[in-house]
Chain A
Amino acid sequence: MTGKNGDHESPRVSTPSNANANVKRIPPPESPAAVQTRFKVIAAFWAVIIFLGFPIWWKTTSVYRAHIPFQEMVDWADGKTCRPVFPLEIHLATPAMQSPEAQHLLRTTQHTLDDLNEFATHHLRLKLTNDSDTPTTQDDENSQGNASNAEKEAADTALTVRLLPQEDLAAPRSELHADTTQLDVFYPPSQTPVSSSSNPPLSAFIAGELQQLYAEEKATIAHILSSHAVGLDSPSPQVAGSISRRWRRSMQYAEIYHLSFSLFTPGPAPSAWDIEAAVDEYLSPLLRAFAPISNFTVDTQVQLYATFSPTATLPEYDETEAAWTLKKEGLSAFVNAAEWPLNPSIGNGPTINFILYIPDPSQSPLVVKENRASSWIIPQWGGVFLLNPPLSQTDSSGDRVNPAHLPLETLRPAFMTFSHQLLTLLGTPSTPVSLPLRLQTLIRVRAATLLLSASSTMGSLARLTESLPSIPIPATVSASVSATLSRLAATCSHLRAGRFGAALANARVAEKEAERSFFEKSMVGQVYFPDEHKVAVYLPLLGPIGVPLVIGLIKELKRVVASWKAQRRPT
């Protein structure tokens, strides 16, 4: 540095003693070169601050917030964008009727149905079809070309009503097939509607039957829509109570459920069960039927020497029943949650537990005291079944022991009950009798709930991002949101067209995307700092650097202004 200084031929090189000698001497004027150098130095510092420091600070401290369609999301949540409707298409097959008669019957029945229905969101649409024995032969000829297209466009058939004349009947009679979606209506030939009568008794009967068939579904959907405040009156309080009780009992919707079957026994036996065959035989048909709604995984375990928890009420022997009994109020403590290895925490879906409990031979048979039932449901958790297998006498001490192996046949009642419990826990409605119809109802109900829950998640996300300005919104969230919104729109249009399977498929994706966008991992708000904390952090850093810089800038500006004025004055 000294070398550099030496390069300057500076006029003000003076020794300190010299300066001390005459204090009042004014320093010689700076050379223009020195002034210019100083100006350059200050400008360089400020250029670095403004063009490098400031952008880096801005870039590193700002929170990235991708654009999300705020208003659209709120509209979905408020139910302004989509008003879900459920038009059910019901086919009317009239093999024994002339076409005009059938048309007339259709018109009058539809009219009666519309009169009966006071909940416009859910309505039944009748449609004439050919005899189901020769299905869609005519259609095939007509629309061979766009068959696949037609299939895509057509609404799902909710139910087929077959009208069959029967001689020895006084009044019409209906019969619902338990394993298909078909309702047979038998009517006396005398009641065949003639086009003159405005309100034939047969159409009133059909309308009444249909109305009754879908009463529970209608109430359920009304309950769901009203609980999400879409602006509908809820059904009568009693119905609402029973429905909401059922909903409370059933699990929250999930894309995938883990079914866990556990064999618990207080002794060493039975230590084996034909579980694989039992699941294949008794359970997989049901799971296949549920395929459009949810996926399932199954796992099983055998736990020997499983004891009750110390606070549980132990079974008591009942002389009159000749059985060991459990009190109903003690059942909630039956499952030893602390010690039985349940809830295996697999994957990210909820687990539904099914417990098969084999009592100790000394306490067999074991039943529930109040009604000799052997099974119960624990809401949102699973089910328990008490199995009392036939005891074998073969023990060295002569005591009776449980069989070492449970064959398929012994497991049958247990797995049938588990299937029933699974239906209940998944929220399947209790009516009508036909299981396919109940599953269809479940599809519609799930589509409605998923539509509403995904919409409300969108609203939550919108409100959240608005209320927390420090939370980052990554681009993936924005993508998920737009995916959700498009899926929701698709769901809504599918519902309007009566294609409930497609609607549910879309709603499932929408729900998944909505959850993903809300629970985005990187969207954790940075720790909140009050403003005084920020000042406290920045001041010690920036103070010592900032003061000379700012003062230097001010001085330089003053000098520039002064010299500028000095230049102007002479002119």
Chain B
Amino acid sequence: MALLFRFLQVLSLLLLAGAVAAEHTSNWAVLVSTSRFWFNYRHLANVLSLYRTVKRLGIPDSQIILMLPDDMACNPRNAFPGTVYSNADRAVDLYGDNIEVDYRGYEVTVENFIRLLTDRLDEDVPRSKRLGSDAGSNVLVYMTGHGGDQFLKFQDAEEIGAWDLADAFGQMWEKKRYHELLFMIDTCQANTMYTHFYSPNIVATGSSEIDQSSYSHHADNDVGVAVIDRWTYYVLEFLETQVTSATSKLTLGDLFDSYDESKIHSQPGVRWDLFPGGEQEGRLRTVVDFFGNVQNVEVENANATDPGSLKEDLAEIAQLVEKWRKRDEEYSAILGDSSKNHTADAPSSHSLHLAPKKTVGPTKMAEDNSWSKRLVGLSVVGACTAIWVAGSILGHSSV
């Protein structure tokens, strides 16, 4: 009996340890579309569908970074202004009336994306545009656009290489900016994008092998273009029909098993080897570990009396309040006295003294000395003129 008890104890400890290791404290999602122009409508629709799904499963807008390089809802060619649909039945308006796009239009660049991941941003960049994840955060990164062998095109102008992406994740890991990371990419030759990853705790999945295209699923004749990509469509189908609530127990294994190559028309890939425990362990992670939001609320019992409980704290705080009020009163009494007596020595021991509010005048933003810059510019212009004059005089003389 004692042996059994001991065994149970050990087992419960093991379970506890396992739970501690697996737990994360917050969820972040980075959803990126990388292509502009009306005929790439489907890429924005892909991202917006994912956005809607993670929001439905509980990730708040403040923890979703949405990057949209174009504004399909307000495109003049859009027959349904102000809306974006990912299905020809047009049942769900993805744009809706509550959407927070963090990076829009020409802000979606490779540099901004890398800066976002590594948080190397200006101090004045607002928090809504930052990835505030920490060592306890599970991060979902979804990218879609036009790509090729080991690159993904941004905005028709530049491209991000698989190396850059791997380095960005490597830096995130170094600075403990994620706990576990799920990388999803829907583009042509998508699986080549995660071949260079080297930092641990990453599960990566893509829509197509090298030398394979990713295809669109279907077009809406009234919208006039394809509205969603195949791989994303079937991932979404799984998420929308199976993962119906934030408490769903379905695992990543279930999600990846739902890939059907005959429907997707390309070979999706999954990379497990960076994940501790490999495929076996990774398959057990639930889908909502990445697509949902953890919130283990702790209800406070007003009647509990164990240390640190609400009741005890309340008493202490009340005492503290009382103490400070007394000190305030004493202080104001001293102040009153001193002002009456016109004595010079102010009670310096009290740090409570509030300095009179200073009005802040305008300040110059740049510290550079503009005169020295002007001088440099002037001398450069002068030198150039001198050279030109000298050259023309010499040229004349030699002829």
Q: Mark A148-188, 1 if CB is under 8 A from B, else 0.
A: 00000000000000000000000000000011000000000
Number of B residues contacting the other chain (C-beta, 8 Å)? 71
Q: Is the CB of A523 within 8 A of B120?
A: yes
Q: Is the CB of A521 within 8 A of B120?
A: yes
Known: A343-B62, A377-B298. A281 touches B321 (CB 8 A): yes
Which residues in B have their C-beta under 8 angstroms from that of A431?
307-308
Which residues in B have their C-beta under 8 angstroms from that of A368?
299
CB < 8 Å A-B pair total: 185
Q: Is the CB of B16 within 8 A of A285?
A: no
Which residues in A have their C-beta under 8 angstroms from that of B60?
337-338, 342-343
Q: Mark A300-335, 1 if CB is under 8 A from B, else 0.
A: 000000000001000000000000000011011100
Known: A331-B297, A430-B307, A528-B167. A248 touches B23 (CB 8 A): yes
Known: A337-B61, A519-B120. A433 touches B307 (CB 8 A): yes
Within 8 A of A (CB), among B171-195: 171, 174-176
Number of A residues contacting the other chain (C-beta, 8 Å)? 79
Q: Mark A416-432, 1 if CB is under 8 A from B, else 0.
A: 11011101100001111
Report the nearest B residue to A246, measured CB to CB.
Answer: B308
Q: Is the CB of B122 within 8 A of A521?
A: yes
Q: Is the CB of A379 within 8 A of B298?
A: yes
Given A343-B128, A417-B314, 10 further pairs, Cβ under 8 A: A331-B297, A343-B62, A345-B62, A346-B127, A371-B301, A419-B313, A420-B313, A431-B307, A464-B170, A519-B118
Q: Is the CB of A376 within 8 A of B307?
A: no
The reply on A378 being an interface residue by CB < 8 A is yes
Within 8 A of B (CB), among A271-288: 281-282, 284-286, 288
CA distance A339 to B97 in the complex (A): 10
Report the nearest B residue to A244, measured CB to CB.
Answer: B20
Which residues in B have their C-beta under 8 angstroms from that of A536?
none
Known: A288-B324, A345-B128, A373-B302. A179 touches B319 (CB 8 A): yes
13 contacts between A and B (CB under 8 A): A241-B16, A244-B20, A285-B325, A331-B299, A343-B127, A345-B128, A372-B302, A373-B301, A380-B25, A417-B300, A420-B317, A433-B312, A524-B111
Which residues in A have their C-beta under 8 angstroms from that of B163?
528, 530
The reply on A359 being an interface residue by CB < 8 A is no
Q: Is the CB of B300 within 8 A of A373?
A: yes
CA distance A348 to B123 in the complex (A): 7
Q: Is the CB of B307 within 8 A of A464?
A: no
Q: Is the CB of B297 within 8 A of A527?
A: no
Which residues in A have their C-beta under 8 angstroms from that of B62?
337, 342-343, 345
The reply on A3 being an interface residue by CB < 8 A is yes
Q: Which of B123, B174, B309, B312 is close to A464, meaning CB atoms less than 8 Å apart?
A: B174
The reply on A53 being an interface residue by CB < 8 A is no
Report the nearest B residue to A523, measured CB to CB.
Answer: B120
Which residues in A have their C-beta under 8 angstroms from that of B17?
237, 241
Which residues in B have their C-beta under 8 angstroms from that of A139?
none
Q: Which of A379, A380, A524 is close to B115, meaning CB atoms less than 8 Å apart?
A: A524
Q: Is the CB of B111 within 8 A of A338?
A: no
Which residues in B have their C-beta under 8 angstroms from that of A376?
297-300
Q: Which of A179, A281, A520 is close to B323, meaning CB atoms less than 8 Å apart?
A: A179
Q: A76 to nearest B CB, angstroms?
A: 15
Which residues in A have their C-beta under 8 angstroms from that of B69?
none
Which residues in A have their C-beta under 8 angstroms from that of B128?
343, 345
CA distance A371 to B20 in the complex (A): 27
A-binding residues in B (CB < 8 A): 13, 16-17, 20, 23, 25-26, 55-56, 58, 60-62, 98, 110-111, 114-115, 118-123, 126-128, 132, 134, 136, 158, 160-161, 163-164, 167, 170-171, 174-176, 246-247, 295-303, 306-310, 312-321, 323-325, 399
Closest 4 CB pairs of A and B: A430-B308, A337-B60, A285-B324, A332-B295
CA distance A400 to B93 in the complex (A): 39
Q: Is the CB of B58 within 8 A of A286?
A: no
Q: Mark A359-395, 1 if CB is under 8 A from B, else 0.
A: 0000000001011111111111100000000000000
Which residues in B have their C-beta under 8 angstroms from that of A67?
none
CA distance A379 to B27 in the complex (A): 13
Known: A417-B314, A433-B316. A248 touches B299 (CB 8 A): no
Which residues in A have their C-beta under 8 angstroms from that of B301?
371, 373
Q: Mark A506-529, 1 if CB is under 8 A from B, else 0.
A: 000000000000111111110110
The reply on A455 being an interface residue by CB < 8 A is no
Q: Is the CB of A375 within 8 A of B310?
A: yes
Report the nearest B residue to A460, measured CB to CB.
Answer: B174
Q: A156 to nearest B CB, angstroms?
A: 18
CA distance A248 to B134 in the complex (A): 11
CA distance A518 to B37 in the complex (A): 37
Report the nearest B residue to A311, measured CB to CB.
Answer: B56
Q: Which of A249, A288, A350 is close to B132, meaning CB atoms less than 8 Å apart?
A: A350
Which residues in B have their C-beta under 8 angstroms from that of A328?
297, 299
The reply on A289 being an interface residue by CB < 8 A is yes
Which residues in B have their C-beta under 8 angstroms from that of A289?
320
CA distance A431 to B316 in the complex (A): 12
Most buried by A among B120, B306, B316: B316
Q: Is the CB of B174 within 8 A of A463?
A: yes
CA distance A522 to B118 in the complex (A): 12
Q: Is the CB of B299 within 8 A of A380?
A: no
Most buried by B among A346, A351, A371, A522: A371
